Amino acid sequence: MSLPQQLLAGFSRFRENHNPRTEAMFSRLFVEGQKPKFLIVGCCDSRVDPAIIFDCSPGELFVIRNVANLVPPNEERVGHHGTTAALEYGVRNLGVEHIVVLGHEHCGGIQTLMQGGVNNPDSFIDDWMRLVDSARLSVENDYADATAEEQLRACEQRAILVSLANLLTFPWIAQRAAEGTLQLHGWYLDIKHSQLLGHNPDTDSFEPL
Ligand SMILES: [Zn+2]
């Protein structure tokens, strides 16, 4: 059996780099348990690892990653709801104080959606991306004369808003948001310009943070 040596070498470096400070941090985290303040819904894309982007240490971020950083709405309990189960754990068990839906530029999932390729009944991705088909339809309507690149960016951002709205369909999120103990954020990573944009509900636009 051929093992992925790159990963094994990485683990060796990880172990060697442990110093008394990181050892203490890990033992504290595993003895006392995790208490992250931030829950990030990010994309599986290999270029947008939230822990690297936000320069965070173990224990600081509770991260859910899926194709195109989507949040499904509160639905009937059929099938297996990985994203929803992780959300529930982060909010109800860990008591996170912030949820960030982190979208990004050149998202492959949104690209598939915009190219009209979400009609394959045999594709789990197509079924998943249909969650934000309303974003595609609104972009095609509002940005009819825009370039494909501009439409993609607009859809990546509108999909974040669909996910933010879906978050509020869960009573245990809506209640905490209304009480002010949980804040919801829609952020967009502009990789090309190394910029982080945040959705401003007052202007309904994404602005540099
Ligand atoms: Zn993506």
pTM of the model: 0.94
| pLDDT over threshold 90, residue 208 | yes
What local confidence, expressed as pLDDT, does residue 17 receive?
A: 81
Rounded to the nearest angstrom, the distance between the alpha carbon of 103 and the centre of ligand 1 is 7
Instruction: Using the predicted structure, report yes or no on whether residue 85 has a pLDDT greater than 90.
Output: yes
- For the segment 47-71, the average pLDDT, to the nearest whole number, is 96
State the distance from the centre of ligand 1 to the C-alpha of 198, rounded, in angstroms.
Answer: 17
Residues 59, 33: Cα–Cα separation, whole Å: 9
- pLDDT score of 24 more than 90: no
Position 30 scores a pLDDT of 81
Are 150 and 143 in contact by the 8 Å Cβ rule? The answer is yes
pLDDT at 22: 77
- pLDDT at 7 exceeding the cut of 80: yes
How many whole angstroms from 68 Cα to the centroid of ligand 1? 4
Q: What per-residue confidence (pLDDT) applies to 25? A: 78
Pairing of strands 195-200, 205-208: antiparallel
Q: Domain 34-208: what homologous superfamily?
A: Carbonic anhydrase (3.40.1050.10)
Phi first, then psi: give them for residue 117, nearest 5 degrees. -100, 40
CA 44 / ligand 1 centre spacing (Å): 6
Of 129, 104, 134, nearest in space to 118 by CA: 129
* Residue 150 alpha carbon to ligand 1 centre in Å: 16
Instruction: Place 40 in a pLDDT band, splitting at 50, 70 and 90.
Output: very high
Q: Is the pLDDT of residue 79 over 90?
A: no
Q: Can you give 135-198 as a three-state secondary structure string?
A: HHHHHHHHCCCCCHHHHHHHHHHHHHHHHHHHHCCCHHHHHHHHHCCCEEEEEEEECCCCEEEE
Give distance in angstroms: CA of 176 to centre of ligand 1: 28
Residue 61: both structure tokens together? 């971020």
Kindly give the interhelix angle for 148-167 and 133-142, rounded to the nearest 10 degrees. Answer: 140
Its sign, for the CA torsion 72, 74, 75, 79, is positive
State the span(s) of the chain assigned CATH 3.40.1050.10: 34-208
pLDDT value of residue 15: 82
pLDDT in tens, 86-113: 999 999 999 999 999 999 999 999 999 9
Pick from 1-5, 93-97, 137-141, 154-158: least confident: 1-5
- Above 80 in pLDDT, residue 117? no
